[in-house]
Amino acid sequence: MTSLSEPVWLSKNVVKLFPLKIDITAYKFIFGDSKLWQAYGNSVLYAALSTIVSVAVCSMYAYPLTIPEIRGKKFWNTLILIPMFFSGGMIPLYIQVANLGLLNTAWALVLPGAVSTYYIILFRTQFKSIPMELRESARIDGASEFRIFWNLVLPLSKVIFMIIALYCIVGSWNSFTPPLLYLNDDTKMPLSIYLRNLVVTNTTDTAELSLSAGNTYYQQIAAQGGGIGMRIAIKMGTIVVSVIPIMMIYPFIQKHFVKGILLGSVKG
């Protein structure tokens, strides 16, 4: 409601549940900012890469842990638990990313968090719930382990794949510290950093556009005491725009998410 309120009323701290007068000028400034769309594209790219890589790596790590014939499963199960309690720290991780030449690349945001103990445990639990008789019948028919995983296990585990994909998308979309550490190029900054610059430092094109001397509408608003209100409306409008993709994705995954909560809760 703040983003749709008239700037003059915002400057006077007159904000109600419904705007006294709807004003969409803030959104005109927001959608006219090229840096916003650039940050949007970067966030979509990082979220897509993070989701694909993390889901692929974690699921393929978890599947062999459910095969009885494979030895050393206890070691590998223990190995994935270590990062849950101990981490190398921020500085060693930064040095490693720098030594690999990943700074200022999308992979600096994707690879360090590609393996998640939590996701592996979820995948392993789901894969164990699939009857072994199905896998054994596939092996008798000559199917390889990869084909069993791709054609049998994966279709029967769509719920957990959708849930973890949602976790990855939301986590990457809201990621703030990694891009702040690993990215120095403004053209590669995601939406989270764009929002930080807008809300905290006012260093974006939108803020500059709204305060430009050549903007007649802003001059009129400022003359009425609404300059501060325009800043507030632009900030709030940008935040609204940033959460729209997640709001659009969640309804399509919600039914799978509800199923996943009950997954494995009833046995027998």
Terminal Cα-to-Cα distance of the chain (whole angstroms) = 50
- Token output for 49: 């890469």
Domain definitions of the chain by residue range: 25-220+239-261
> Which are the contacts of 64, defined by CB distance < 8 A and separation ≥ 6?
70, 73, 76, 145
| pTM, two decimal places | 0.79
Cβ(49)–Cβ(86) under 8 Å? Answer: no
* pLDDT score of 3: 61
Cβ(169)–Cβ(51) under 8 Å? Answer: yes
* pLDDT score of 142: 87
Per-residue pLDDT of the chain (268 residues; tens, 9 = 90+): 566 666 555 555 666 656 666 777 777 777 877 888 899 899 999 999 999 999 999 999 999 998 888 888 888 888 888 888 887 788 889 999 999 999 999 999 999 989 999 999 999 999 998 888 888 888 888 888 889 899 899 988 888 898 899 899 999 999 999 999 999 988 999 988 888 887 776 544 444 544 444 444 444 444 444 456 667 777 777 788 888 888 887 777 766 665 555 554 444 4
Closest CA to 46 of 148, 226, 229, 194: 194
* pLDDT score of 161: 92
Cβ(191)–Cβ(39) under 8 Å? Answer: yes
Cβ(203)–Cβ(197) under 8 Å? Answer: yes
252, containing H or E segment:
helix 227-261
DSSP string, 204-216: SHHHHHHT-TT-H
* pLDDT score of 14: 60
Class of domain 25-220+239-261: mainly alpha
Q: Running DSSP on this structure, what letter comes out for residue 114?
A: S
* pLDDT score of 43: 94
Cβ(130)–Cβ(147) under 8 Å? Answer: no
